[in-house]
Structure formats: C-alpha cells, structure tokens
Structure 1
Amino acid sequence: MRSLFYSVVILFLFSISASAQIDYNSEIQPIFNNSCTSCHGGTSGVTLSSYSATMNSTGSQYGIKIVIAGNADGSPLVDKIEPNPTHGSQMPTNGTLSSDEITKIRQWIAQGANEVATSNEEEELQSPTDYSLLGNYPNPFNPSTTIQLRLKESAEYRVSIYNVNGQRVASMLGRASAGTQQLNVNLAEQPSGIYIYRVRVMQGNKSVFIGSGKMTLVK
C-alpha cells in the first residue's frame, strides 16, 4: 500500500512538471547530512557522505547496492526509510524522514539517480534546428566510439558520460566549428556495460542541452 501511495505521488509530480529534475548535491545530500551520515559512515556497508559513496554502497542486510537507478521500489535505500522495511527497523534511528524528504529521494532514484540535474533553462533552450546530436558509431564499441554533432555555428561543447548508476565517468570540453563534428570517446579504463552520454553547447552565456544517447562498451 505504501509503495502504491508513493508511486501515485511521483506520477502526480511528473504530470505537473516533467522537467522537475532532482539535483543530488543540493537536494539529496543535505537530507543525508542532517539525518543519516552521523551513523552511516560505513555502518552495514552503507556510506552516505557523498554521491560516489552512496552509489557504491552495498547494504549488508540486502546484499545489493542500496540505490538502483530508475527503480525506487527496488532500491534498499527506499525500503529502509519507509515504514516496515524488509530487513531491520526503519531508518534513520533518530527519527523518520518527512514525507517530502522520502518523496524527493524516491523521485531522484526514479529519474535515474543522477548527480547533476538537467535545469529548466536547458530544457527551454533546446534548439534542434541549430544543433543536432546524430548519435555515435560504432555501437557497441571497444574501447573507442565517435559521437557525431551538427552545429549551425561555432560553439563550445561539453560531453558528459555516465554509467548506469548515474556516476559521471568521463567529461569532454572543447570548441567545434560549424558543420558536422566527430568527437572521439575512449573508455578503455571503464568496464563493459551501458553508458549514457549527454551533450550541451554554450549559446551566449546559456547552456543548451542538445540531447543524450546510449552506448555499449563490450570488451
């Protein structure tokens, strides 16, 4: 019943604003700092002191990572902060989180548990006629692939690459001239798996979100 309730809340929030992305550092980490990190600096395999620590924590009671990106109901972190968890007692031990805090954590995980949110400004400034993300090739790849980007005019770009846990594993900054550009990505130091890349360019002093894509590293 509690899962159904929170699912309805999340759906309601998304229906109001699909772009209401949750930022980990400004919205989630403060919740952990106020209520969780005093105990969870490694207790039961869980450390909540940073994004990286949170995403890499495996709860000893559950035997899996506490955050499963895109799956709030299946994440042990959510199970422990809601009433009647599968294992042990509800956390935190010094008092329950508010319904707003629980909903925010659920929404963050459901959105993909990313560290950095897409801002409303970026969503509003999408301009596919000026900038186009053409995908990457080869895909699957090992260990290099090429991201294609078409620009109407010369612009600074930023490519951010994330693993399935929402951790940024690589970032590329540069300037490209007008026309179709090819950006080489090398993930030789990363394990096989699916990765998400996001591309932005600067338009004046505005960051323009061009698009994102999925690529698969096979070693």
Structure 2
Amino acid sequence: MKRLILSVFLCLGISSMEVFAQVDYEEEIQPIFNASCNSCHSAGQNSFNSSSYEAVMASTSPASRYDSKHVIPGNPDGSPLVDKIEPNPQFGSRMPQGGALSEEQISLIRQWIAEGANEVPTSNEVIAGLPEGFELKGNYPNPFNPSTSIRFQVPEAVSYQLKIYTAHGALVEEIAGNASAGESSIPVSFTNQPSGIYFYQLIAITASERYLLGSEKMTLVK
C-alpha cells in the first residue's frame, strides 16, 4: 500500500517532511504478526494472541506482569505489546524470540496504536488546508534547553499526533494525545538529544478528518 500522501517542504529548504496515511491493520500490522509472532502466540498459546485483530485487541497480560490489555489504543508507550518488542522490556525477554523486529516495523506498530489501534483506517487523507479555528502557534521557548512546549489551537476536541525529526529526516520523537477545544500545549524534553535543528509536524484528528496543523523548526542549544 502506498502510504505517502504529500510532502511538506519547509521554507528554509533544509529538509522535507512526510505526511502519512493511517496504518492499515490487515495490510501492514497483521503480516508482521503472521511472520514473527504467530508461531508462539496463536490461539491458546500465552496471554498474547496475534492470530487476528480481534484476538490481539482481546489479549490481556496477567496481573503478575502488566495487568492490562496488551494494546491500549492511543497509548503506545503504555501498551505492553510495545514494551515487549522494544529493547529492555519491563518483564521477561524481548520479543519475538526468533529475532527482534526492525525499527521500521516497531515504528509502524507504535503509529498504529497511537492512531487508535483501528482495524480499518478512519481516514486515509491528511488535509493541508485548515478550517477556521485550527492553528499551530509554534513552540516556546525557541531556542530551548532542554524543554519547550508546542502550542496549538482547535475549535473542537481532537486527538493529535506530534512527530519530531532531525534536520536529516530521522524520527526522534512521536507523541500522541487528546486535546479539548481551545488552546493546548504539548511539552517536549530533549534531555538526551544533541544540540541542533529539529523539525516537528502536528496533525489534529477529528471524528471525520485529519488536519495538518503545520510543520515548523525548533533549535536545541545546550
């Protein structure tokens, strides 16, 4: 599936940013589970069942470990599934046992969960033109060390996706959350990142559309 919808070229010409369609579970996530997980996590084996979307979403970790659903929609950092496929999990050894997933596969699973862990994408298009009331207000302070806040305004309750990239286009941070109508801010801390120029992209997700609020530059100075 071709996932690239459009490229947003920043005014300074240093880098280009990509806006992607929502992840399609059947085309992009289930094949990862089929190839790497089903041999140990199909029906009736262990607490995580990777055989289908319904099984994945119903899988629950035992109380002696995470004591929650393996997939928590909208919260990749809190989902046991993500913890287990990334280095140094909180409990037990990293999965899959046959070999770690690639960074691209892990990022895809994280994005799918951040978007709501849907079986079918709720929308495949990111709209660049903003209706009245949607606005990216930039980040403050800028330059910053090591923390800043990215501010935006929306006329209704939304979910949001924030992605931050290096000047060379490498993804370094991805944050998902919810915001009420009005002005909101997303705190960002780069304690472990080197000084330099970074670019961020913010998408607001309503019940029917996905809006690109904008892409801007920020500078970390240590």
Task: Specify which structure has the higher proportion of helix.
Answer: 1
With normalisation by structure 2, the TM-score equals 0.47
Q: Which of the pair is proportionally richer in strand?
A: 2
Q: Which has the larger radius of gyration?
A: 1
